Structure 1
C-alpha cells in the first residue's frame, strides 16, 4: 500500500488538510503584497525641474497644475524638459534647447505623498534605475527558486517555509527604513528569494498531504488567496500614500506568522522518503484522528515503512534527456517558452498599470478582481482539454493586448477594458501551464522539466519590468510584445499533445514511441520504467 492509498483511507482532503490549507493560504495574501507593491512604491508622479518655474518665486507643488507635463496615458514625458531660459512655454511649445536639472525636482502630490522615485529622484536620466530595481527583485525570485528548492528536498518543506517567512518579515521591515536606493534594492532582492521559498514549498507541502483527486482544486485555492492579496493591496495603498509606511504596513504583520512554529506540520511523505518512519506515523495518526478516520488495527500494527529498491541497476536521468530525443525536445522547448511568455506578460501588465490612463488604484483593483473568474474558469475547461484551454486563453490574452495599441489615448476606459481582458487570458493560461507541463513531461524527468520551466518563468519575470524601457523606441512597443508573445505561444501549443483524461507518460519511450532515430538509422530503444520510490507498508 503506497502513501496515496494511505491518504485515501485517512481522508485525502479532510479536516486536517483543510486546516493545513488555511496555514498555507494566509501567507499568499502577503506574498501578493510584496510581489506587486512596487506598482505604488515605485510610481512616477508628474514632475518638473524647480529651475523651470516661470518666476523666481516658485509656487508650492500642490498649487501647480502638472497635468500638461504628462503624455497621454499618464506617463511623464515633457516633465523632463529643462529650459535653459527658465521658460516653460518656450521649452514645451517652440522646442528651445534644454539642459540638465540643477535645482532638483518638484513632484505632484495629488496621487502619492511619496514614492521611492520622489525620494531618490529616479526620473529622466535616472528613470531606468527604477526598472532595474524591479528586475533585481525578480532575479531574487529566480535565485530563491533554485536555492530553497534544493534545501527543501534536503531539510524538509516546513523548516524552509518557516525560514523564508522570517526572511520576508525581517528584510521587508528593513526595506521601509532603507537609507538609499541601492540598499533598498538589495533588501528587495532578499524579499524576492523568500517569496519563491514560501510559494514553492507551501504548494509542495499541501500537494504532498492531499489526495490525488483533490490536488488540482487544492492548488487553485492558493491562487485565489493570492488574488485576494492583489485586490486588498489597492485598498491598503489608497489609504497609505507614503511609500515607507506602506512598505512597513505590508511587512510588519509577518511577525504574526511566528505561531506557525507550533501549527505548521511536516510532510509525512517527505519524512517517509527520508527514513524517518516514526515521525511520519505520528503525523499520519494525527491526520487520521482529525479526519474522523482513525487507523485500523492492521495499519496500527504495520508501523514500519520501507522504500522499495530495485535489484537491477537503475538508469540515471538528467535535464539533458529533456532535449536528447526529437519529440521530447520539441515538447520541452515549447513548454519552456510558454512558462517564459506567460510570466513575462503577466507581470508586464501587472507592474505597469499606469500606462492605461485610469486611476491607478481603481485599475489595480480591477486587475485583481479579474484573477478570480480567470482562475475559476480553468476548473471547467481543464478536464475537457488541456491543449485547447491553453491555446484559447493565450490567444485571448495576446489579441486583447495587441488591440490596445489601436485605441486612442483619450479613450482610457476602453484601453483598460482590453488590458483587463488580456490579463484575464494570461492569468487563466498561467494557471493551466502548471498542470499541463506536469503531464507533458514523463515521470523519469518530470521534476527536471518543471524545474527548468520555472527558471524560464523567472527569466520572464526579470525581463518584465524592462519591457517599458522600450517606450523610448515606440510608445506601443511594450504592448506589441505583450500581444505577440502569447499569440506565438498559442500557435506553438498546437504542437503539444493532448493530456486530458490520459495516462501520464512514465518513460521517454512513452513520448517518442518505440522507434527512435539513432545515427541515421532506426533502432528500438527500450527505457525501463522508474518505479523506485513507491512507499509501502511492510506487513
Structure 2
C-alpha cells in the first residue's frame, strides 16, 4: 500500500494532523519576529554630530531640521580630515527609539555601511541554512532538524541581546538566520508529508497566516519595547518554551518509509489512526514505488539528483527561478513602498494586514490548479509593477496603489511556490529541492536592495526589473506539471515517467481549468 492510500484510510486531515499543524504554526510567529525585528533594532534615528562635549548650552539642536547630519552641529568646521570620528560625540533623537544597534555603536555616516553589511550577513545566514539544513533533513529527518533549529534559535537569539560588540552581534544573528531556514522549511515539509491530497495546500497557507500574524504582532511588541536589547530578548526568550516539542512533535512517516524504516513508520501510522478515530483493523504493508514491476533501488540522494535527469532538471531550474523572483520582487517592493511618511509602527501594522488577503485568495485558487494560480499571480504582480512606470510623478497615490497591487500578487505567488515545490519534488529529494529553492530565494532577498542602484541609469529601471522578472516566471510556469489533487511523487523515476503522461493530456486539462 502506498503512503497516500494509507492516509486515505486513516484520515488525511484528522485530529492527528490538526494537532500537528498547531505545533507547526506556533514557531512561525517567532520566525516573523526574527525576520523583521531589524526594522526596529537597526533603525537609524535622526542624529547630530556635536562639535564639543558636553554640548554647548543654548545651541538649540533641532533634529527635524538636521536629520542624519554628519557635520558637527554648532560649528562651521567640517569633520576631521580622517573622517573617522565626531569631536563631541553623537546626539540621537529618542522620540521614536530609546536605543538601537545604530545608536549604541554609532553606525552612522562613515560607519553606516556596517549596518547594511550586518543585514546582508544575516540574509546570508538564511541562504546557508537553506542549503545546510535542507540536505541534513533529508538525511536525518524533518523532526530532528526542527528541534535543533528551535534550540539554536533560542540560544543564539538571546545571546544577541547581550552581545558586547557589534561584530559578535552580527555573528550571533548570522546563526539565527540559519535556523530560520531550518525551521520554516522543515515544518512546512513535515506538514505536507502527513496531509492527504485534498488538504495538502494547508501546509503552506496556514503557516503563512501565522507568519503574517507575527508580522502584525511585532508592531505592537516593538511599540511597547523601545530598547533594542530588551526587544531582542523579548522575541527570543519564548523560544525556550518549545522544549516540549521533544515529546509532542512526530516524525514524518513518509520520510521513514522512503528511508527503509517501515516498522517505525507503521508504528506512527497506527498512532495517527487511533488519534483520528480510524484504528487499523488489519496490518498493512507499505510499498515503495515500482517501475516495470521491479522495486526501485534505494540509494542515497544528493543535490546532483535534481539535475541528473532531463525532466527533473527542467523542473528544478524553473522552480528555483520562481523562488528567486518571488523574493526578489517581494523585498524590492517592500523597500519601495514603505516610506509613507507615517509612524513606523503603524506602517509595520499595515504591511502585515496587506498580506492577509493575499494569503486568503490562494485558498480559493490552489485546489483548482497550482500552475494557473502561480502563473496568474506572477502576472498580476509583474504587470502592476510595469504599469507604475507610465504614471506621472504627481499622481503618487495611483503609483503607490499599483505598487501595492504588485505586492499583493507577489505575496500570493510566494505562498503558492511553497506548496508547488513540495509537490513537484519527489520524497527522496524533496527537502534538498526546497532547500535549494530557499537558497535561491535568499539570494533574491540579498540582491533586492541593490536593484535600486539602477536608478542612476533611469528612475524607472527598478520597476521595469520588478515587472519583467515575474512575467518571465509566469511564462516558465507553463512548463511545469499540474500537481493539484495528485499523489506526491516518491522517486525520481516516478517523476520522469509520470510527466510524460501528464504532458499528453495537458491541452484537455488546460481547457477544463479555463472553463
Structure 1 length-normalised TM: 0.79
Corresponding residue number in structure 2 for 1:379: 363
Pair 1:45 & 2:41 matched: no
The separation in 2 between residues aligned to 1:323 and 1:20, in whole angstroms, is: 33
Q: Displacement, 1:285?
A: 2.1
Q: Displacement, 1:444?
A: 8.7
Corresponding residue number in structure 2 for 1:133: 118
Corresponding residue number in structure 2 for 1:293: 278
Corresponding residue number in structure 2 for 1:226: 211
| 8 Å Cα contact 2:423/2:483 also seen in 1 | no
**107-116 vs 170-179, which deviates more?**
107-116
The separation in 2 between residues aligned to 1:315 and 1:280, in whole angstroms, is: 19
Corresponding residue number in structure 1 for 2:479: 497
Residue correspondence of structure 1 range 146-161 to structure 2 within 5 A: 146-161=131-146
| 8 Å Cα contact 2:2/2:287 also seen in 1 | no
Q: Displacement, 1:189?
A: 0.5
Residue by residue over 1:411-436, the C-alpha shift from the partner in whole angstroms, topping out at 9 and shown as x without a partner, is 88766544433321211111122344
Corresponding residue number in structure 1 for 2:75: 86
Q: Displacement, 1:68?
A: 2.6
Q: Displacement, 1:292?
A: 1.1
Secondary structure at the counterpart of residue 409 of structure 2: helix
The separation in 2 between residues aligned to 1:355 and 1:405, in whole angstroms, is: 18
The separation in 2 between residues aligned to 1:233 and 1:492, in whole angstroms, is: 32
Corresponding residue number in structure 2 for 1:481: 462
Secondary structure at the counterpart of residue 154 of structure 2: helix
Q: Displacement, 1:321?
A: 7.2
Q: Displacement, 1:243?
A: 0.7
Secondary structure at the counterpart of residue 380 of structure 1: coil
Q: 1:65 to 1:233 in 2, by over 3 A?
A: same
The separation in 2 between residues aligned to 1:196 and 1:128, in whole angstroms, is: 26
Corresponding residue number in structure 2 for 1:3: 3
Greater C-alpha radius of gyration: 1
The separation in 1 between residues aligned to 2:332 and 2:169, in whole angstroms, is: 22
Q: 1:452 to 1:267 in 2, by over 3 A?
A: closer
Q: 1:56 to 1:182 in 2, by over 3 A?
A: same
Residue by residue over 1:228-256, the C-alpha shift from the partner in whole angstroms, topping out at 9 and shown as x without a partner, is 00010011111111111110110111111
Q: Which runs of 5+ in 2 are unaligned?
A: 503-515
Secondary structure at the counterpart of residue 238 of structure 1: helix
Q: 1:246 to 1:65 in 2, by over 3 A?
A: same
Corresponding residue number in structure 2 for 1:33: 33
Residue correspondence of structure 1 range 6-17 to structure 2 within 5 A: 6-17=6-17
The one of 65, 68, 71 aligned to 2:62: 65
| 8 Å Cα contact 2:201/2:366 also seen in 1 | no
| 8 Å Cα contact 1:40/1:115 also seen in 2 | yes
Corresponding residue number in structure 2 for 1:530: none
Q: Displacement, 1:220?
A: 0.9
Corresponding residue number in structure 2 for 1:94: none
Structure 2 length-normalised TM: 0.82
The separation in 2 between residues aligned to 1:463 and 1:475, in whole angstroms, is: 17
**107-116 vs 403-412, which deviates more?**
403-412
Q: Displacement, 1:132?
A: 1.3
Q: 1:47 to 1:483 in 2, by over 3 A?
A: farther
Q: Displacement, 1:35?
A: 0.6
The one of 79, 91, 105 aligned to 2:90: 105
Q: Displacement, 1:224?
A: 0.7
Q: Which runs of 5+ in 1 are unaligned?
A: 71-75, 92-96, 515-539
| 8 Å Cα contact 1:442/1:507 also seen in 2 | yes
Residue correspondence of structure 1 range 20-419 to structure 2 within 5 A: 20-51=20-51, 56-57=56-57, 64-70=61-67, 76=68, 79-82=69-72, 86-87=75-76, 101-296=86-281, 298-299=282-283, 302=284, 305=286, 307=288, 310=294, 332-350=316-334, 355-401=339-385, 417-419=401-403
Q: RMSD in angstroms over aligned alpha carbons?
A: 3.8
